[in-house]
Structure formats: structure tokens, C-alpha cells
Structure 1
Amino acid sequence: MVPVPLVAAGAAAGAAYLNARFSLAHDLLFFRISGGTLFNLFRAKRADRINFFYVLEEYALDKATAGKPLILFEGKSYTYAETYDTALRYGAWFRERHGVREGDIVALDYQNSDTFVFLWFALWSIGAKPAFINYNLQGAALTHCLRASTAKLAIVDPRVADGVTEDVRAELPNMNFLVFTPDVEAEAQSQEPVRYPDAVRSESEYINMAILIYTSGTTGMPKPAIVSWAKVRMAATMSAMGTASGPNDIMYTCMPLYHSAAACLAFCSALYIGATASIGRKFSTKTFWKEVRETKATVIQYVGETCRYLTVAPPEIDPVTGENLDKKHCVRVAMGNGLRPDVWDKFKDRFGIDTIFEFYAATEGAAGLWNRSRNSFGKGVIGRFGLLSGALSGIRSTLVRVDDETELPLRDPKTGLCQRVKPGEPGEFIVRLPAEDIRQAFQGYFGNQSATNSKIMRDVFKKGDAWFRSGDVMKWDSDGRIYFSDRIGDTFRWKSENVSTAEVSQALGLHPAVQEANVYGVELPNHDGRAGCVAIVLDAAEANPQLMTNLAQHAKEKLPRYAVPLFLRLLKEVGAQITGTNKQQKHVLRQQSVDPAKVEGDNLFWLKDGSYVPFGPKDWAALQQGAVKL
């Protein structure tokens, strides 16, 4: 007879092998997230409790959780019961003082704060819908977003009220702008809390709008995306289960609440599981870890280049003991999107982060991907599937070849249909939509049917089918791992080859002197295509010739010849060209090109004789005259 311990050891080894071979743990996570979301949606719809306000109410009225902290913000703490009470007071104030009714849209132009959350849930408590406005916007962009919301009332944070100029007000004569000063806040707080009947919060479908959240607007005006109740619940479920979080966890985010990442994937996730949300007003490398330590956060959120900026920032030293505080925290998992492969291990190792939960999603997107990773096998992966979940996902989503000239999915000249790529090949990520009722999976952009239609493809693999275009190029390998390649429009052609800006940035980021690399293609006089340029931040006092030569050699070793950047623009500090969610912007950099008169005093270099050497007005003139051929 075989001893029991040997049988157990053999079974454990066998289970470990099967899990590694077929990624069964990722299958389990996939079905838990998908199944959990569907079950909760079904239960909420049957009870007419689709509105997420009811999640707050349930915890606030339960004696076991009513006194538990829900919000931590700048040294203040608010329990579930206190948050619920304030939401009811503000909701009554909205309804009785300002005539807001169910279905109305109210714009919130607000920085991260406890008040942001109170106003948001107050609107949900009376069946109204918030439109989250990027508080950094001014002028025409702000006017556009407010007008697109169709709101008649805008609540403005006193900290950003200067942005609501007389010109903005004049462009929107039918909108009431109310700056939420301490006096106005006191008025709302003094309102008696009213829990209005369920009828005012009734929702016929889980695909109805919960929030309006705007796209980043990096290449044009921001568009208001309809975020449905289903998407709020999916995001909350995905984050909670993906980070294996429970009621005792504290989730920290200083990403902007006007974006779906912080609002849905962080705050709503903490609320969904009865945990605590620690909120920072805005991102700063000087306050990030301080707030994480002070609130004893166990889960942190990042977006875009957040982890890069944290990794290149100088360490914080205890002024009394001289101790390095990098690993003095309670964080067990970091969740977010945009953690690049060249930063992945540096970030984990420096700050002692055990688990990364990287996900891929878009505010208006029709599907999401995720990757929970504790080792290097998942480094840089934005989505990962096991045997079963991969098969199911392959039915609903896929990658298709893209036409290099039109930047549209490539169609077979004989059939007119699109072509799936092979494993390892780049292709645009697309998601199947119900052809007869697209709104069930993709609610589109509010009041902008043409923009909505631009994201939908018909007759993709058969006559009459419908698919959502993500606009993102990815690679899907034979192990079920999905890698982000580039954003369509960012990829450029040089010497008849496609150059992925993301892949070049990653390669350059591996150089020890590079703190940040933002790669883009620039049009040059008398040249076809776009030449590679990198806006770069170096960890050096000056760009000395030896470093420039070493950097050029590094690029040549790591990249194909056609992908090596021909130009280098030296930036003075990290984060010079980013969105409010720490995502790199390329639009302005592309427009400025490498014209020394347009680069705002930044030093330019170009690749010559095996090194990056200064590039000035005379060199630019030579390019314009056709005297130089690259």
C-alpha cells in the first residue's frame, strides 16, 4: 500500500502541473468573475435593485457594518452609516432645492474628495445620473463636455471654480453653475435626510446609464461614454475578486474619480465587498506612499505610467532613524492598467509588492481582460486565459489583421471578410456584439450616434454579424497570454515597416539611465512615412557624449534597425506629456515634430555616426532643403 503522505504529495504535484499546463486558476477566476457578475445582476434586476445605491444602503443599515469606515480622506474617516446619511441629505437638497428628478443628469466638476462621493451617491439616491467632468479642462474643452452632458445643473468644486470663466458661462446660458462652497455645503448638510421611495430609483434594464464618463480626448474633444449599471457591477466584481479582497481590505486610489478606473474599479469595488476606500486628492510621488502607510492600505491602484513615476522617484527616508521606507507598508497587491514590462519587476522588487493584478478595459469598451500575476511568467501581460476560459473568450473576442494604409481591419479582396491573426501576430482586438441589439453589450456615446457607429463593424466573419473595435493592437500567444502592442494611430511606418511605439518605449526603458521614454513618429520634409522620435527623461545631470553613444548602441542592440529612433527630445522631468490618468500623450509631440522652434526649448538630438548628437536649426533647415536623406 502506498503511504497516504506520498499519495497526497503526488496529488498536489499533479494538480500543480495541470494548473501550470492549462492555467486552471485563471479559468476559475474567469468563471467566478463572470458568474458572480451575472448572478448579482439577475438578483438585482429581479428585486428592482439595479441602482448601486442599494449596495451602500444594505451595509449602512446592517448593524454589523454600519459603523465601519467606508471612506478615508486626508485624515478624516466616514462610516457606511455616515456616508449613507450624508448622501440622503444631499439627495434631498438636490431634489427639494434644485428640482433634480429621476433620470436627470447633473454635472460634477470636482477633484477627488469625500464630498465628491457624497454628491455622486446623493444623485443615485434620487435616481439621477452624474456626469463626471475632468476638472483639469478649461475653455472650449470644458464647454464642450458640459454641453454634451445635456445637464442643466453643474456642481463645481471651489478648488477648480476659476476654470468656469465668464466665457464658459456665456456659452451655456441654460446651465446653472453652483460652486459648492462651505456655505452651500452646510446648507446641503442641514437638509433632513430623506429616503425617497424605491420608484424614483427604479431601472428597467441593467444596461441603463449609471454615469457619464468622458474619454481622454487626446486626439480630439472628449466624448461622453455611457457607463451602464452592468459595467459598474462588472468592474466592482472584477477588482474585488481579481485582487482576492475582502471586508478587511483597504483600497487606496489617488487616480481621478472622474475616470472609471478610480470610480468603478476602486471605490465601487471597495463598497461592493464592504471594505474601506482610502482616497487621495491627486497623484504625487511625494504623497502616494505616505497616504498608503497612514491609512494602512492593503491594495493600491495605478493607471498608465504611475508605477514608473513611483519607481524613478527618490526613496523616502525616515528623518529620525534614517531607514528606507520603500517597503514599510501593508500592501499585498497592486491593481491597475498600464504597467509596462520594463517597469514591472523594478516596481515589484523596490516596493516589495507580492501580486500584480493588471487589467485591460476601456470606459466605453464591450469587454475586459485581466492577469493576476505573482511571478515573471505574467510580466507585461494585460490578459490571460486558461484552457476553458480561452476557448470561451475566443468565441466572443479575437484579433484581426489591420491594413497598414487605412488603419482599418484588413478584408479579404474575394470575400470581403476580416482575417484572424495567428498566435504571436499583432492584430486589433475586437469583441462580438449581439447583431440584432448592439446596445445590450455596447451602449456607446451619449448623444453622439456617429461616434458610436464608428466603433462598430459589420460583416466581419459572416454576413450580418457585428463587432466592437477597440482601436488597440495586441498579441495573443500560445500560452493564453495577451500583450498590448500599440494604439492604432500611434503605430507608424518607416522604411516600409510598422513600428510599435509601445515596443520601442519598452526597449529603451531597459536602459539604466532612462526614466521615461515616450515614442512617436514625426513627419519630415522630403521623406516618406514617419521617422521615430523619443521624448526621453534621463537619470543624468547632462546628456554627455558617452551616454548618448551608449544609448544609441543600446537601441541598436534591442531593436530592429528600422525601429531605432532617429531623433531624441530631451525632457526636463517625467510626466511632462500625460493625461489626468498618467497616460502618455503623443498628439502634441507629433505636431511639434523636431522643429527646434516648436519644441519649447527642449534639446534635440539625432542619430549620426553611431551616436545621438545635437540637432539644431541648421540641421532642420538642411532637412527642409532636401540636403539630408535619412
Structure 2
Amino acid sequence: MSSAKEKVLMGLGGAAGAGILAWRTMFPWIGYDLEMMKAGKRASDEMAVDFKNRRFAIDMFEEQASKYPEDTMLIFENRIYTYKFMNSQACKVANIAMAWGLPQGSTVAIFFENEPAFIWTFLGLLKLGLGVAFINTNTRSKPLLHSIRVSDAKTLIVGSGDELHRAIHEIMHDLDIPAYLSGLASEDTGSKYHSWDYLMLRSPENDICSSIRNTLTLLSPCIYIYTSGTTGLPKPAIVNIAKGIGFTKFCLFSGMKKGDIIYTTTPLYHSAAVLALFCVMNTGATMLLRRRFSATHYWSDCREHGVTIAQYIGELCRYLLALPKDPLDGVHDIRNMIGNGLRKDIWIDFQKRFKVPKIIEFFGATEGTSAMVNVNGRVGACGRISPLLNKLSPSKVLIVRYNPETEQPYRNKEGFCEECKIGEAGILISSIPVIYAQGFYKGGKEVNEKKTLRNVLQKGDAYFNYGDLLYKDSDHFVYFQDRVGDTFRWKGENVSTNEVANMLTGLDFIQDANVYGVHIPGKDGRAGMAGILLKDGVQFSEEMLQKIYQHCKQNLPSYARPLFLRFVKEMSLTVTYKQRKVEAVKEGFDPAKVTDPLYSLSVKENTYVPLTLETLPQVLQSKL
């Protein structure tokens, strides 16, 4: 190379180096963006190819079954299920459903607990291009009937187990579609039920030609996953084929590949487990599935089966941390854990005790139009909204100011929303790509419009409203604060239930705290109340009340300190380990409704004092 060319190239290299250095000086967070881009490149590249080639999730599964038939797809209750076996069972399901003559895009509802049959039944229906409604196995009576009807299901398939059968029997006289029950030995039942086992035993294993799916589009239905129904009847969130392809890439942020074993303990009808299943289908990896979460068996399961990636959700990690310490803590092959809901107050303790190399926390919603992932390991963060990545993303994400009185985004004089400043909590929203043309939920325009925020930054734009309060730090990492409605207003100030709960669990005798606002007659706003769960083996003492009082006084402003305490025997949780608050809010601090020990804050005595029917009038008349 001539010296002249060398000088030019060296000059260009020096300029580029100086340019990068200048960018890093001006924008110190740019390195986090580069790490995210590196983590997401494989996922985005694969998704682009799959969209172009119409390679759906079911195609990915069939490819794995064809290329690696003897590889393990599923481990369940110490039994191994190969890709070949899962495909043969799925083919049986497809041949049964073929005889029903349902048009593509029709819905079939399935009502199964965690078991291999859930997966192969689902896969068999996907082979025909049918949409599958995943009915929550905890729903009963009216919500159960509603869940089936709102999906427009033409047929219902029920898994094994007396509990599920009893649940269907309760609504059978109102059910106007055929119901096929697993576990019935004979087709001649003398009732409206049909034996699913009878059909499976006699169904051929012939595969269905993939050309049958040629008429499907990226907007065709794949799954309907239901909301929890805590604020009304469950709503089926639409997961179309395009979104399903996106699901298959999610665990790639954890570096998931063939040979990995991912551990899932959440219900298969929940989106967290669906993410794991779809990523297994894409990579040819293995899923270790448990019927129900068990804290005592969790780590031994991981060791026994060589788990390399583990999922978590909600308060699962808190239950693991509450286990007695064991010399085998940290003895496993896990290289990372991926999930959402790991609270900041236990993050470091959990990661250190169990020697988890990396935790990947994410934020999203089944019906949401975007998702965030914290691949950088920033403690407590659930993702990032950087200016650069937001420009590159097909779905723009914003945090906008919030009006706690209306529980809606704040509007300025021009009627538009305003983005929050660094450290300011607001409502998370994201723009709506074309794949959501049919809405977020099945159920018509009205139910979808409730989650749509219009005229946000300019007239005519539209965003999805998550209904969650989050905030950013100076590096653009995002932190969950509360659900809208969980944050309450007292003495003119906003109180975050999540922040108060994190503070309370800093006391060494408190296992968990459920914080919420309760209405006091004649008072504006809502006062703070905390349900306290003591650690196993810890006996209650009055000294604890004084410690809680002093801890709150030192760490919380006066308006945020809980006015009432309720000591619970166990924490009421959803099936995904999220705290239940609706019932607790309704019961409030009324000793006539609450059987748990109640206490109210006493500034005069510098502690919390017993709250009974006799002392309640005095408390209500005091200056709270």
C-alpha cells in the first residue's frame, strides 16, 4: 500500500474513531444501544426472512420434526417426548379436526392444564389454519361460558382431570357447541359430551400437506390469549400469525439455540409460556414443563434436567428466595433467567444467592403493540427507550404525563399529550403497526377503542395505552412503577404502591407486602394500607409494629406511609404470581369484614396500634 493511501486510510480511521469517541462523550448511553442491537440482530433478521417466506410458527415446528425427529422437544414428569412423537400426535388431532369441515380462521377452544396433550392438540389445530382459544383453567361458571362464547369457538376440547370436567359440566346446559372430553373411555356417554380419547385412538397419523395453509395471511388468527379478568370478564387478546412469528424470536434475546433447555412452570394458556414454546419450535430446543410451580422442586428440577434458560414471572423469584438456604444454591447450568416482574428490592440478593449469570427482564402485554427488553443487566430495569432505537423501531414507544384524578394521560392546552421528563412517571404507550388492523382483542370496536389513545402528538395519530406507569433514568433505562389505579392519591400527592411495598420488604422479618389505597369516609383520595406476610417461622410481636413505623418514617414521606396494616397468613396471588388487590380494596380496613389482625398508625404512640370494632370510630374521627 502506498504511503499516500495509508495516510488517507489512517486519516479516515482516525476521523471515525474520533467520531465514535465524540458520540460516546455526547451520548454516554450509546454503548447500551449497541449491545441491544447486537442482541436483537438475529431476531430481527430471522423475522424479516420469515415474513417474506411466509414461514409460520407451525412450519418451524414441522421443520424441526422433519430434520431432528429423535431430538427431545418436551420433558414432562420425567418422560421424554421427541419432536417425532409430538408431530405424530398433532397429526392425529389434525385428522380429527379435518372431518369437522371448519373454514380456515375458525376458532377451536381448548381447556387444558399443563400437559403434553395441550401442546400437540394446539399444534394439530394450527396445521389446518385454525385459530385456537386458550381458555384459562381457573375460570368457572359465567366467566368460563363467556370466554368460550366471546372467542366464537365452533368446538371445545377439554383436557383430562375431574376439576376441568366438573367445570364444563356446570355450564353444559348453556353450551351450544360440541364438547370433546379427554379421559372418557367410550364414545357412548349418553350425554352431550364426546370422547376425545376415543377419536385419538382411531385417528391416523398421516400428516397434513402444508399447502392447505396457502390461503392464510399474516393477519389470520393463531391464538387467543385471555386477560386476567380482574377488572371485568376475560377478554381474548389476538395473537395473529405475524405476532406469532414475533413470539418465536423472543427468547433469542437470551441467546437461545438448539441444545438449550428452557424451564417453564407458568400455565401454557399464559403468554409467558407461549413465548417459550414458540421459541422452542423455532430453535429446535427443549422445554422442561411442570404441571404447576413448586418452589421446593425448582432448583432440583433445573439440576436434574440440565436447564440452561429459566423463565420467571411475577413473584416467583421471591418465593424461591424465601426457601431455606441450601449448599446447592447456585449449583446449576443456567446461564440466564428471562421474565418479567422481578422487583428491584430482591434482584441483587436473588442473583447473588443463586449465582444466576444474567437476568433479562422484559416488559410487554399480550395485546400490546411493542415490547422492551433489558439485555444490559441494569438492576430493576424492564427495558430501554433510547432516542436512537425508538427511531429505528417499527413501533414508537413513549411515556406520557398522567392525570391521577382522571387516571388518563394529561392533555395540554392544544389537547395533545406531553412526554415525561427523566425520572417522571407516566403512562406507557406505543404506536400501532399495521398487523393490528383487526384490533387488540376479539370482541368488536368498543372493547378495542378503550385501549386506543388518539390525537397523542398530532391529529390523527393513534397509540396503544398499556395502563401502566413507568419512568426513565438518564441512560434511558425504563422502570415499572405501578398499574394505573394502583398508584393512589393521598393528601394531594401520588403514592406508588410498588415503591412502598419495596420499602417494607426491606425489613428482615417481612416476606412480602401488598400495598393499596383504601377510601376513608369524609376524606379525599385514598389512604395507604399494607397487607403484610411474615417470613416462615417468624412469630408476630408488638416490637415489629414499632420497627415498621420507624422504617416508614425514615424512608417514606408522611403522605406515603401506610395508615393501616393487615397481617395475612398467606399472600393472595393470581396464577401468574401477581398480587390480588381488588378484593382487599373492597374489604378495606373494616374489622367487620377483615378476619386478619388489623392495625392503624398512631403518631402519638410512634407505632401501629390494634384496630377493632371498638376503636374504629375513634380512628375515623382522628386527624388522619
Q: Same fold (TM over 0.5)?
A: yes
1:551 aligned residue: 548
| Cα deviation, residue 166, structure 1 | 4.0
| Cα deviation, residue 516, structure 1 | 0.7
C-alpha contact 1:24 1:387 (8 A) present in aligned 2: no
Matched, 1:309 2:308: no
- Three-state SS of the structure 2 residue aligned to 1:617 is coil
1:401 aligned residue: 401
1:296 aligned residue: 306
Matched, 1:267 2:277: yes
- Three-state SS of the structure 2 residue aligned to 1:379 is coil
What percent of counterpart residues are identical? 35
1:171-190 to 2 correspondence within 5 Å?
Answer: 171-172=174-175, 174-181=176-183, 183=185, 184-185=196-197, 187-190=199-202
2: CA distance between counterparts of 1:36 and 1:335?
17
C-alpha contact 1:429 1:472 (8 A) present in aligned 2: yes
- Three-state SS of the structure 2 residue aligned to 1:134 is coil
1:428 aligned residue: 427
Matched, 1:213 2:220: no
Amino acid at match of 1:558: N
2: CA distance between counterparts of 1:438 and 1:228?
8
2:578 to 580, 583, 598: 583
| Cα deviation, residue 42, structure 1 | 4.3
1:243 aligned residue: 254
2:503 aligned residue: 507
Deviations 1:208-227 (A, max 9, x none): 32100001111211111101
Kindly tell me: are residues 71 and 138 of structure 1, through their superposed partners in 2, closer, same or farther at Cα, counting changes over 3 Å?
A: same
Kindly tell me: are residues 39 and 349 of structure 1, through their superposed partners in 2, closer, same or farther at Cα, counting changes over 3 Å?
A: closer
2:61 to 21, 39, 56: 56
Kindly tell me: are residues 22 and 401 of structure 1, through their superposed partners in 2, closer, same or farther at Cα, counting changes over 3 Å?
A: closer
2: CA distance between counterparts of 1:463 and 1:549?
55
TM-score, length of structure 2 as denominator length: 0.90
1:72 aligned residue: 75
1:469 aligned residue: 465
Moved more, 192-201 or 581-590: 192-201
Structure 2, unmatched stretches of 5+, are: 1-16, 186-195
1: CA distance between counterparts of 2:298 and 2:174?
38
- Root mean square deviation of aligned Cα: 2.4
1: CA distance between counterparts of 2:215 and 2:611?
61
1:372 to 350, 371, 375: 375
1: CA distance between counterparts of 2:435 and 2:87?
35
2: CA distance between counterparts of 1:596 and 1:110?
40
Deviations 1:25-51 (A, max 9, x none): 543434653x5455444433444433x
Moved more, 190-199 or 124-133: 190-199
C-alpha contact 1:533 1:565 (8 A) present in aligned 2: yes
Kindly tell me: are residues 119 and 546 of structure 1, through their superposed partners in 2, closer, same or farther at Cα, counting changes over 3 Å?
A: same
1:194 aligned residue: 206
Moved more, 145-154 or 383-392: 383-392
1:7 aligned residue: none
1:128-167 to 2 correspondence within 5 Å?
Answer: 128-159=130-161, 160-167=163-170
TM-score, length of structure 1 as denominator length: 0.89
1:169 aligned residue: 172
1:6 aligned residue: none
| Cα deviation, residue 585, structure 1 | 1.6
1:115 to 117, 123, 138: 117
1:332 aligned residue: 335
Amino acid at match of 2:527: A
- Three-state SS of the structure 2 residue aligned to 1:359 is strand
| Cα deviation, residue 315, structure 1 | 4.0
- Three-state SS of the structure 2 residue aligned to 1:92 is helix
- Three-state SS of the structure 2 residue aligned to 1:286 is helix
Deviations 1:38-81 (A, max 9, x none): 5444433444433x11101111111xx22110111101111112
Structure 1, unmatched stretches of 5+, are: 1-10, 317-323
1: CA distance between counterparts of 2:257 and 2:32?
19
- Three-state SS of the structure 2 residue aligned to 1:164 is helix
- Three-state SS of the structure 2 residue aligned to 1:282 is coil
| Cα deviation, residue 389, structure 1 | 1.8
C-alpha contact 1:26 1:385 (8 A) present in aligned 2: no
1:536 aligned residue: 532
Matched, 1:43 2:49: yes
2:383 aligned residue: 383
Kindly tell me: are residues 128 and 558 of structure 1, through their superposed partners in 2, closer, same or farther at Cα, counting changes over 3 Å?
A: same
Kindly tell me: are residues 224 and 336 of structure 1, through their superposed partners in 2, closer, same or farther at Cα, counting changes over 3 Å?
A: same
Kindly tell me: are residues 91 and 517 of structure 1, through their superposed partners in 2, closer, same or farther at Cα, counting changes over 3 Å?
A: same
2:358 to 355, 359, 362: 355
| Cα deviation, residue 126, structure 1 | 1.4
C-alpha contact 1:430 1:468 (8 A) present in aligned 2: yes
| Cα deviation, residue 618, structure 1 | 1.5
Deviations 1:550-592 (A, max 9, x none): 111112212111111111111112xx32111111121111011
2: CA distance between counterparts of 1:30 and 1:189?
49
1:253 aligned residue: 264
2: CA distance between counterparts of 1:297 and 1:163?
36
- Three-state SS of the structure 2 residue aligned to 1:429 is strand
C-alpha contact 1:531 1:566 (8 A) present in aligned 2: yes
| Cα deviation, residue 195, structure 1 | 2.3
1:419 aligned residue: 418
| Cα deviation, residue 494, structure 1 | 0.5
C-alpha contact 1:25 1:386 (8 A) present in aligned 2: no
Deviations 1:200-259 (A, max 9, x none): 32354323321000011112111111012222222331212x111211210000111101
Deviations 1:107-148 (A, max 9, x none): 111111111101110110111111001101111111111111
1: CA distance between counterparts of 2:72 and 2:169?
40
2: CA distance between counterparts of 1:468 and 1:143?
28
2:349 aligned residue: 346
Amino acid at match of 2:270: H
1: CA distance between counterparts of 2:568 and 2:589?
13
Kindly tell me: are residues 394 and 85 of structure 1, through their superposed partners in 2, closer, same or farther at Cα, counting changes over 3 Å?
A: closer
| Cα deviation, residue 186, structure 1 | 6.0
1:480 aligned residue: 476
C-alpha contact 1:49 1:202 (8 A) present in aligned 2: no
2: CA distance between counterparts of 1:26 and 1:236?
23
C-alpha contact 1:23 1:387 (8 A) present in aligned 2: no
1:619 aligned residue: 615
Deviations 1:79-101 (A, max 9, x none): 112211211112112223x4445
Moved more, 69-78 or 205-214: 205-214
What is the total number of aligned residue pairs between the two structures? 591
Deviations 1:481-514 (A, max 9, x none): 1011111111111111111111111111222111
1:603 aligned residue: 597
2:451 aligned residue: 455
